[in-house]
Each structure stands twice: as structure tokens, then as C-alpha cells.
Amino acid sequence: GINAEYGRCLKFKNRAERNGCTLQNKCPLDECSDGLQMDYRGETSTTAGGLTCQKWTDQEPHQHTRTPANYPSSGLGDHNYCRNPDNESGGAWCYTTKPAKRWDYCGIKQCS
């Protein structure tokens, strides 16, 4: 059932190990990520300060080179979820939709 499946999800350490988990997008590990959070694949799309993230495929309001083509294994795509494609020391981040604020960290908590 759902509870057993959810419990099984909890045991996996990363998304690659959760490929067989039908609830993988709802696993709590998507809401936290350790270290530099380069493997974070959750769906948080706002910064720690509450700003909406810009899609990685958009070049407005901020032009950038952190694109899915330039960082193919970093989880970027046609979405605005927080990621860390370039080893930023503060973890997952995003460009914002606010012209005056280019980017910010997302405040994804550490799992451990």
C-alpha cells in the first residue's frame, strides 16, 4: 500500500536508487539534499526570500549560460525548480523573475 511504499522511499539515499519507487516525486528526500545539493531534484521553485524562480530555459528577465544544453546532467530543464548546476557553495539556487534580483539561494534544508 501507500504507507509501505512511502516507507520504502525513505530508505533510498538518492534519486537513482529510487527509480523503482512509484512515489519518488513525493519522497521526503526531494525536500532536502546534502552537501552542495547538486543532486537535488525536488520541485521547490521559490527562493529563500520568497521570490519566484525563472525557468532555466528562459533568458528573461535574466540572460544566463546555465542552460540544460550547457549543464546536461544537472537536472535543468523547461521548469523553474531550484538546482545547483555549477557547484555554488550555498546549495540549490535559481535565477529570479524579479529584474532587480538576478539569483538567490532557495534555502533547501540539509537532510542530515
pLDDT digits (tens, 9 = 90+) for 60-94: 999 999 999 999 999 999 999 999 999 999 999 99
Task: State the pLDDT at residue 26.
Answer: 46
For residue range 30-71, list pLDDT tens digits in order. Answer: 678 889 999 999 999 999 999 999 999 999 999 999 999 999
For residue range 88-104, list pLDDT tens digits in order. Answer: 999 999 999 999 999 99
Closest to 22 in 3D by CA, of 34, 37, 7: 7
Element (H, E) at 11: helix 2-11
Task: State the pLDDT at residue 88.
Answer: 95
Kindly compute the dihedral angle of the four CA atoms of residues 70, 66, 111, 41, in this order, to the nearest 10 degrees: -60
